[in-house]
C-alpha cells in the first residue's frame, strides 16, 4: 500500500499518542463531545461507561444535549411488535434472542462461502481501506487481526482489508484531509461527532440504496428500522451499526443511600423531575455539606433530556425538534422557548441553590464515573438498557462498594439520534463499490468475522468462559494488558457478538425483551428524515454560538433563570433560530409529502 506524507504524519501522531499513553489501562473519554461514543467500560468493550460514553454529552454524536455539535443519531425497536414503525424507513424490525449464537457463526460462514465465494478470483484482489475508530490507542495486535480477516476475505470475496486507525474525535478532520489529499479511502466511519449531511454535501459519500438492495440484505435484516438513521435528503448514505432499537433513561442511585433513607425504588414507575427532587431533598438533609445528590459535569447532556424526549431530526436543538414523538400538530419547535424547558431549568436552578449539585459543576470535566468514585455523590443520570444495567452495577460496586438501583425517568423510546451513533459509508472515491458492499454485508452476516474484529483471536485475546457466547480474557490478562482491546463496538451485527463478562447468557434475551418493549407511541414518526442546514448555514452557526454561550450554565442551574432565560431566548431569535426552524419545517413537510 502506498504511503504518502499524510499517512506518515498520521502514523507519527498515533505513535506519539501511544507513547504518551504508556502502559496505562485504556480509558473511556468522558464528558467531551468525542465522549459521546458507543464505548467499552472497564473489562467489557460492549458495556457503556457512566461517563456519558454513549455520545450523549453536550457536543456529542447523539446530540442529546443542546449545543448539538455532532447532532446525529437515532434508534427504534427491533421488536416484531414495532414492525409498523419499521415502515417509516421501508425496513422491517425484528427481535432476536441469543439462542442461535452457538451455531450461527459456522452456518453463516458456510453461507458466505456459497453465495460470495465465487466473487473473488486469484489475482483479482481489490484493496479496501476502511477506517478503524479508536479512542487514541491503536491495538497492538491490529495487524494480526487484519491478517486473519484477509485469510477469509481474499479467497471468499476477492478483497484485501486494510484498516486505517483514527481517533474518533479526529474522524471529521482526518477524513476531510484524506479526501483533499487524494488518499485512498473506501469505507468511512461517519457517526460519532461527524455530521452525515456534511459528508454528503461535500460529495464524499455514495448513495447506497441500489447497492444495499442487491448486496446488503444481511445488513437490512440485522438493523431493521435502525436503517432509518442512515438517510439524508431521502436517500441512504450510511449503514448504522446498532443492536439496541431504542434507549431508556434512568437515575442510577447508590443502593446503600436509598436503604439508609428508606427510599423504595419502583421499577415499574416513571419518575418525574419533581419526584426526583423530593428524593434529593431527603438525601441532602441527612448528609454532610460536601456530599452532593447528582454527579454531573459541564459536558453532560442536559438533565432535562432524561425527562423530555425530543427528536432532533438528525441535527440538533439549534434547528429545533419534535415533541411527543411527532404525534401532535405542533410541528418542529424551538425547545428552548417551550414551557417544558423553562420548567426544567427552574427545577434544576433550585437543585443548584439547595446544594444538590456541586457548586463547580459548570466547570467540572471529570467523568461522572470518576465523580462517583470519590464517594461524595448519590446518583447520576444515564441510559438503562440491559448492557448498561450490568456495566453500571459493576462500575459502582467497584468504586463505592454499593449496588446501583435505576429510577426510570422515561419509557423505552426510539428517536432519530439513537440510530446515528456509528455508521458506515462508502466513499465516492471507492473504485469498487460493489466489493465494498459485499465486504460490509459479510461483516454483518458472518459472526466469525465480526467477533474476530471485536474481540480478537480465541486463545490469544479471549477464551470462552464455559460455552459460547460468554467469553473472558485469558488468565493473567485484563483490559489494561490485553494486546487487542476494542473500546468502540462498531463491527457488524452486534446482536450476535460474543458476550464479555460481567454480562451473561441472559443478555441477548434481555436485549430482545427490551427491543420489544418499545411501543409505537414512544417511537418517533420522523424516522428516516434528516435536516440539511446548508440553506441556512450562517444562521445555524450563529445559533450554535448562542447556545454554547448560555446553555451550559442554564441547564446546570448556575444562572438566575428570570434574567438569563429571556436573554438566551432573545439572543437565539436575533441569531436566526426562527429561520432555521422554518427551513427545517419546510424540508420536513416535503419529506412527509414525498412518502404519501
3-state secondary structure of 248: coil
**pLDDT score for 137:** 87
Report field, pTM of the whole predicted structure over 0.75: yes
Burial (Cβ within 10 Å: 0-12, 13-18, ≥19) of residue 289: exposed
Measured distance CA(523)–CA(414) in Å, rounded: 5
Residues of the chain with pLDDT below 70 are 1-123, 193-194
Provide the strand spans (E) within 409-540.
Answer: 423-426, 463-464, 470-472, 499-500
**pLDDT score for 193:** 65
Q: Which domains does the chain have, with CATH numbers?
A: 81-244+419-522 (3.40.190.10), 249-416 (3.40.190.10), 534-595 (no CATH)
Task: Kindly list the distances between the CA atom of residue 177 and the CA atoms of 7, 173, 181, 185, 534, in Å, as whole numbers in the listed order.
Answer: 10, 6, 6, 11, 21
Please check whether residue 78 is in contact with residue 245, taking contact to mean a CB–CB distance below 8 angstroms.
Answer: yes
Please check whether residue 547 is in contact with residue 499, taking contact to mean a CB–CB distance below 8 angstroms.
Answer: no
Measured distance CA(392)–CA(404) in Å, rounded: 7
Express each pLDDT in 287-309 by its tens digit: 999 999 999 999 888 999 999 99
**pLDDT score for 123:** 59
Between the CA atoms of 447, 451, 456 and 458, what dihedral angle is there, to the nearest 10 degrees?
-60
**pLDDT score for 568:** 98
| Helix, strand, coil percentages for the chain (3-state, nearest 5) | 45, 15, 40
Task: Quote the DSSP letter at residue 517.
Answer: T
Express each pLDDT in 512-534 by its tens digit: 999 999 999 999 999 999 999 99
Please check whether residue 311 is in contact with residue 321, taking contact to mean a CB–CB distance below 8 angstroms.
Answer: yes
Which residues, at least 6 apart from 278, have a Cβ–Cβ distance to it below 8 Å?
none
**pLDDT score for 436:** 98
**pLDDT score for 95:** 33
**pLDDT score for 358:** 97
3-state secondary structure of 354: coil
Measured distance CA(215)–CA(89) in Å, rounded: 18
Count of positions (residues) in the chain: 596
**pLDDT score for 37:** 31
Task: Quote the DSSP letter at residue 336.
Answer: G
Measured distance CA(277)–CA(515) in Å, rounded: 30
Which residues, at least 6 apart from 484, have a Cβ–Cβ distance to it below 8 Å?
139, 140, 141, 142, 144, 145, 455, 456, 457, 460, 461
309 closest CA partner among 232, 392, 383, 420: 383
**pLDDT score for 149:** 98
**pLDDT score for 468:** 76
- Omega cis (within 30) before 402: no
Measured distance CA(301)–CA(63) in Å, rounded: 8
Amino acid at each position: 500500500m502506498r504511503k504518502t506524507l499524510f499517512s506518515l504524519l498520521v502514523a507519527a501522531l498515533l505513535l506519539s499518542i501511544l507513547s504518551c499513553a504508556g502502559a496505562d489501562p485504556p480509558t473511556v473519554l468522558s464528558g467531551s463531545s468525542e465522549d459521546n461514543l458507543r464505548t467499552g467500560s472497564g473489562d467489557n468493550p460492549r458495556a457503556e461507561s457512566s461517563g456519558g460514553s454513549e455520545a450523549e454529552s453536550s457536543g456529542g454524536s447523539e446530540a442529546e444535549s443542546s449545543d448539538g455539535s455532532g447532532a446525529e443519531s437515532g434508534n427504534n425497536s427491533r421488536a416484531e411488535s414495532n414492525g409498523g414503525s419499521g415502515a417509516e424507513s421501508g425496513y422491517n424490525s425484528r427481535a432476536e434472542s441469543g439462542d442461535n449464537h452457538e451455531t450461527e457463526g459456522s452456518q453463516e460462514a458456510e453461507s458466505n462461502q456459497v453465495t460470495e465465494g465465487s466473487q473473488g478470483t486469484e489475482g483479482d484482489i481489490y484493496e479496501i481501506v476502511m477506517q478503524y475508530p479508536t479512542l487514541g490507542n491503536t491495538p497492538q495486535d491490529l495487524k494480526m487481526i487484519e491478517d486473519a480477516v484477509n485469510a477469509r476475505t481474499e479467497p471468499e470475496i476477492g478483497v484485501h482489508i486494510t484498516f486505517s486507525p483514527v481517533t474518533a474525535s479526529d474522524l471529521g478532520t482526518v477524513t476531510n484531509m484524506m479526501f483533499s489529499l487524494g488518499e485512498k479511502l473506501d469505507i468511512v466511519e461517519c457517526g460519532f461527532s461527524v455530521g452525515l449531511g456534511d459528508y454528503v454535501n461535500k460529495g464524499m459519500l455514495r448513495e447506497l440504496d441500489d447497492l444495499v438492495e442487491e448486496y446488503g440484505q444481511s445488513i437490512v435484516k440485522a438493523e431493521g428500522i435502525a436503517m432509518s438513521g442512515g438517510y439524508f435528503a431521502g436517500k441512504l448514505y450510511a449503514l448504522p451499526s446498532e443492536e439496541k432499537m431504542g434507549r431508556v433513561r434512568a437515575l442510577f442511585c447508590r443502593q446503600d443511600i436509598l436503604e439508609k433513607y428508606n427510599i423504595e425504588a419502583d421499577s415499574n414507575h416513571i419518575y418525574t423531575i419533581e419526584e426526583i427532587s423530593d428524593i434529593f431533598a431527603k438525601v441532602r438533609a441527612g448528609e454532610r455539606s460536601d456530599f452532593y445528590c447528582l454527579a454531573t459535569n459541564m459536558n453532560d447532556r442536559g438533565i432535562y433530556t432524561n425527562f423530555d424526549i425530543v427528536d432532533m431530526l438528525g441535527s440538533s436543538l439549534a434547528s429545533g425538534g419534535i415533541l411527543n414523538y411527532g404525534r401532535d400538530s405542533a410541528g418542529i419547535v424551538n425547545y428552548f422557548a417551550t414551557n417544558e424547558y423553562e420548567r426544567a431549568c427552574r427545577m434544576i436552578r433550585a437543585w443548584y441553590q439547595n446544594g444538590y449539585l456541586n457548586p463547580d459543576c459548570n466547570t467540572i470535566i471529570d467523568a461522572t464515573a470518576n465523580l462517583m468514585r470519590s464517594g461524595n455523590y448519590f446518583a447520576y443520570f444515564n441510559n438503562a438498557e440491559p448492557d448498561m444495567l450490568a456495566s453500571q452495577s459493576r462500575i459502582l460496586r467497584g468504586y463505592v462498594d454499593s449496588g446501583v438501583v435505576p429510577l426510570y425517568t422515561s419509557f423505552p423510546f426510539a428517536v432519530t439520534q439513537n440510530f446515528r451513533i456509528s455508521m458506515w459509508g462508502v466513499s465516492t472515491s471507492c473504485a469498487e463499490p460493489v466489493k465494498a458492499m459485499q465486504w460490509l454485508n459479510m461483516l454483518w452476516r458472518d459472526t466469525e468475522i465480526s467477533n474476530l474484529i471485536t474481540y480478537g483471536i480465541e486463545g490469544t485475546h479471549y477464551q470462552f468462559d464455559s460455552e459460547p457466547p460468554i467469553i473472558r480474557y485469558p488468565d493473567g490478562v485484563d483490559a489494561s494488558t490485553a494486546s487487542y482491546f476494542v473500546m468502540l463496538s462498531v463491527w457488524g451485527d452486534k446482536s450476535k457478538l460474543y458476550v464479555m463478562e460481567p454480562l451473561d447468557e441472559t443478555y441477548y434475551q434481555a436485549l430482545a425483551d427490551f427491543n420489544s418493549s418499545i411501543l409505537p407511541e414512544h417511537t418517533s414518526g420522523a424516522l428516516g428524515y434528516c435536516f440539511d442546514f446548508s440553506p441556512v448555514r450562517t444562521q445555524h452557526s450563529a445559533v450554535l454560538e448562542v447556545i454554547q454561550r448560555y446553555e451550559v450554565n442554564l441547564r446546570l442551574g448556575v444562572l438566575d433563570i428570570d434574567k438569563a432565560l429571556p436573554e438566551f431566548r432573545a439572543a437565539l431569535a436575533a441569531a436566526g433560530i426562527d429561520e432555521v426552524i422554518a427551513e427545517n419545517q419546510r424540508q420536513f413537510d416535503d419529506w412527509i409529502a414525498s412518502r404519501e
